[in-house]
Amino acid sequence: MAFDVDAIRREFMILKREVNGKPLVYLDSAASAQKPNAVLEAMAGAMLGSYANVHRGLHTLANETTEAFEGARAAVASFIGAPFVECVVFTKGATQAINLVAAGIDISPGDEIVLSVAEHHSNIVPWHFLRERKGAILKWVDIDDDGRLDLVDLERQITPRTKMVALTHMSNVLGARLRAADAIRIAHAQRVPVLLDGCQAVVHEPVDVAALDVDYYVFGGHKLYGPTGIGVLYGKPDRLDRLKPFEGGGEMIETVTLNHVTYNDPPHRFEAGTPPILEAIGLHAAISWLSAQDREAIAAHEHALKDRLTAALRAENGVRLYGDAPDKGAIVAFNVEGAHPHDVAQIVDREGVAIRAGHHCAQPLMTRLGVNATARASIALYTTEHDIDVFVAALAKARRMLA
């Protein structure tokens, strides 16, 4: 299957717009990706033609919507290689998925959680809650200068008190890929479960949770060309069975009396209240759309653009790149010497180029890199060589203005 970026771009209306009088160059997909028409059509189609609340209804629209919602769950399960549909819990986002796991596991004072210094705050703060509220101890695994997890250090940090190893599958700042199979093997050798934050990885590579043998896998919809307001928690059946319910409400119960409550089975136990129905339908459309593309060709396309960008930045004096592992995902963090990344981002914005600048919700990683902030350009399947070239030219202008 040939990969035709122009054809792809025609499915993203927003890419036709202008910003500050210049054609939009969107290099912030790692923060949130744009959505193909298929996602909009699926969500609008549901609202226009078949919508009601799910599960409880006894009428046709309720049944149709329940079919669509549970169909989305089945599609997600198949997309990530989950062995059972019931392993897929819908949440409002990846952040909520991690909070759900952190709040649901048994923790006694002195129990340990092992994290890497490269985690997004969403995979740090929920564990800090356990430190503050239950006396858990956070232990940190270092990365090498290219951002890759130090597996020897990982093995060292795991003790008999370790209750969870929670790691990013792909750094949202450096693009560095975790050697997930190795990390999971190391943790499992000591009977410690592993949670992977797949928000970035799931966009750029096929993920097979069964092959990985991972215990929990989380990602959000909106970086995966789907809508905001929906995330996925995959959990192994025995893990989800033992996880305490997160939020209480309708849908998640079996029976409620004045003195007692019993809970529904997973995944519904973790889906209190009306779930993100339309968002699930949108996510289904996004993964169907993505799965219909040639994902190997997309990966090659993104990799080539990443190399083009990296080479251009490296050719500039006074530009510092962070995390340059050869197999990294298409996320490029950098700084212009003597300039704040916010200044850089605002100047290139005037040229129509959207990049991110700041700490990227990864302050421990910023500390590890010895910076307060970085700029970040991230590449998606709709990014073109022209986008990269426009950005590099805009960056040169920013450097002139800030020199």
Partner 1 sequence: MTAETIDDAIAAVEADFALFSDWEERFTYLIDLGRQMAPLADHERTDAAKVRGCASQVWLVSEARDGRLHFRGESDAFLVKGLIAVLLQVFSGRTPAEILSVEPKALAARLGLSDALTAQRSNGLHSMMERIRREAAHATP
Q: Which residues bind partner 1 (CB under 8 A)?
A: 20, 339-340, 342-343, 346-347, 349-350, 358, 372-373, 397, 401-402
Q: Are 310 and 128 a contacting pair, CB within 8 Å?
A: no
Cβ distance to partner 1 smaller for residue 314 or 342: 342
- Please give the structure tokens belonging to residue 195: 């949670």
Minimum gap (Å) between residue 344 Cβ and partner 1: 9
| Residues, the chain | 403
Nearer CB in complex with partner 1: 138/402? 402
Residue type, 327: D
In degrees and rounded to multiples of 5, residue 378 shows phi and psi of -125, 145
- How far is CA 143 from each of CA 119, 168, 178, rounded to the nearest angstrom? 11, 12, 10
Question: How far apart are CB 172 and partner 1 at their closest, in Å?
Answer: 18
CB of 369 to partner 1, least distance (A): 16
Which residue, 247, 190, 237, is CA-closest to 216? 237
Shortest distance, CB of residue 358 to partner 1, whole angstroms? 7
Min dist. Cβ of residue 350 to partner 1 (A): 5
> What b/e readout covers 172-193, taking b as 16+ CB neighbours within 10 angstroms?
bbbbbbbebeebbebbeeeebb
Cα→Cα distances 208→2, 88, 167, 183, 247, Å = 24, 13, 16, 15, 28
Residue pair 250/264 in contact (Cβ under 8 Å)? The answer is no
Task: Judge whether 282 and 217 are in contact, CB under 8 Å.
Answer: no
Closer Cβ to partner 1, 24 or 149, answer by number? 24
- Which two tokens mark 228? 């905001």
Q: How far apart, in whole angstroms, are the C-alpha atoms of residue 193 and residue 189?
A: 10
Give the nearest distance from C-beta 357 to partner 1 in angstroms.
Answer: 8
Q: Using CA atoms, how far apart are residues 249 and 159, in angstroms rounded to an integer? A: 37
361: annotated active-site residue: yes
CA distances in angstroms from 25 to 21, 82, 378, 386, listed in the order given = 12, 36, 11, 9
Signed CA dihedral, 30, 34, 38, 40: sign only:
positive
| Residue 312 Cβ vs partner 1, minimum distance, rounded to whole Å | 22
Q: Which of these is catalytic: 299, 361, 371, 402? A: 361
Q: Which is nearer to partner 1, 130 or 355 (CB)?
A: 355
Among residues 44 and 402, whose Cβ is nearest to partner 1?
A: 402
Nearer to partner 1, 16 or 397 (CB): 397
- Percentages helix, strand, coil for the chain (3-state, rounded to 5) are 45, 20, 40
Work out whether strand 253-256 and strand 261-263 pair parallel, antiparallel, or are unpaired: antiparallel
**Is the CB of 275 or the CB of 352 nearer to partner 1?**
352
Instruction: Check: CB of residue 170 under 8 Å from CB of residue 146.
Output: no
* Residues noted as catalytic: 361
